[in-house]
Structures are given as structure tokens and as C-alpha cells.
Homo-oligomer: A and B are copies of this chain.
Amino acid sequence: MCDITFSCVSDPKAARDLVLGPSGVLQGIRPGKCYIEMSTVDPETITELSQVITSRGGRFLEAPVAGSQQLSNDGMLVILAAGDRTVYEDCSSCFQAMGKTSFFLGEAGNAARMMLILNMVQGSFMATIAEGLTLAQATGQSQQTFLDILCQGQMASTFVDQKCQNILQGNFKPDYYLKHIQKDLRLAISMGDMANHPTPMAAAANEVYKRAKALDQSDNDISAVYRAYIH
């Protein structure tokens, strides 16, 4: 019955069920109704949802968010939007409340594509950081000193600093779920697959996260990929 419905769920199946399921949102879509999908899913799912919503006269926008639990709490998310530009403009005040900035990326599906690539890069960065910290330990070096040096150089970033801190403190409380980054890596690899584009770094990272999942790290933070390197 709402004029605008926001959805944010964990994977393509859940996103699809919410719209297409037995008592799904689609039942209530009529001209004038807006549906905003904020989940990070694959572009095919977005395209399908966009088509069914618009075929009933509804307006569709995808608006996945880049960021973590902490950034969300602070209203510092980055929002990637694509689909119906008028919805994007009508909801700009909502997006301003949630995030520090937003991008409009054109037709529906583009925000999903961009978000998967960003998360693919993040997943590979995280695995690389864990690989570096564990190799430091395995060769008798101080992990704290490794971090200190890293933070003096050009690779220094909030991400590197926070994730190394997590590992040094053994604090894997989820800021971004490990199982979600693995899902994103899988979807990004699959997107590369359809584009005939090799993604060997993401493929290697994906296998490391699968090992972490086998070690029961799914519901920990992505930095718990560290444990795949020490077990």
C-alpha cells in the first residue's frame, strides 16, 4: 500500500521472493508505485525485477549501498543508483539521510554491476592483507610493525588500517559479513564469465573465502578470512 517500498535483503533469491513470491510486493504494484531495491544482487535479478515492476506501471530504482555496519550507523554510506531517474530525484532526501554521497549510473542493472566490482576489489584486497599479515608471522616478523610500515606508505587507507586492527586484536565482529563478500565474489566472477573476462585474482580470493566458510567464519567479519591462512 506504500507509495515507495525500499528492500534490502541478503541475496538474489530473497530479493526475488520478496517481489515475486506468493504474497509478494508485485501484487500491490500499480501506476505511481515505486520500488527501490537496495540489496546487492546480480544484474540479471535487477533486470527481471525492473521488468516486472515497470510492466505493471510501477517505477523501479536499484540503489545498493557500499559500506559497512559502522558507516551505515554514521550515515556515511555511498549509494549507487540506477533505473528510473525520477525516482532517484524524488528520493534524494532519503538517500542524503542514509549516505554521504550517491551516484546515478543509468539503466537498471548498472548499479549492481558496479557494486559487484567494488566488492570484488574489496574481497581481493582483504584476502591480500590477510596473506601479507600471515606471511609476516610465518617468517618471524612483527605483524604490528608490518601494519605500521604499511600505514606510512601509499597503500595506507581506512580499510587497510581497520582490517589489520581487526586481525591484530582478533576481533572479527561482523562489520560486513564474510559470507556476503564471498557471495559477491561469486556473482562478480559469474559476471566476468558472461562477459568472457578472466578474473584470476577474484577466483583465487573466492577459494580462500570458501575455506574460511568451511572453518565456520561465515557470520564473522570479512577480516576473518585471516583464519583460512592459519588453519
Contacts and interface: CB of A to CB of B under 8 A. Distances in A.
B153 A162 contact: no
B114 A135 contact: no
Contact of A162 (B67, B154, B192, B207): B154
Given A139-B191, A149-B114, A207 B214 contact: no
A28 interface: no
Interface residues of A, number: 75
A224 to B, nearest CB: 14
Given A110-B141, A121-B129, A201 B201 contact: yes
A105 B231 CA distance: 27
Given A110-B141, A140-B110, A141-B113, A197 B127 contact: no
A11 to B, nearest CB: 12
A132 B121 CA distance: 6
Contacts of A204: 200-201, 203-204
Nearest to A123: B128
A98 interface: no
A213 interface: yes
A38 interface: no
B207 A139 contact: no
Interface string A137-162: 01111000110111011111111101
A66 interface: yes
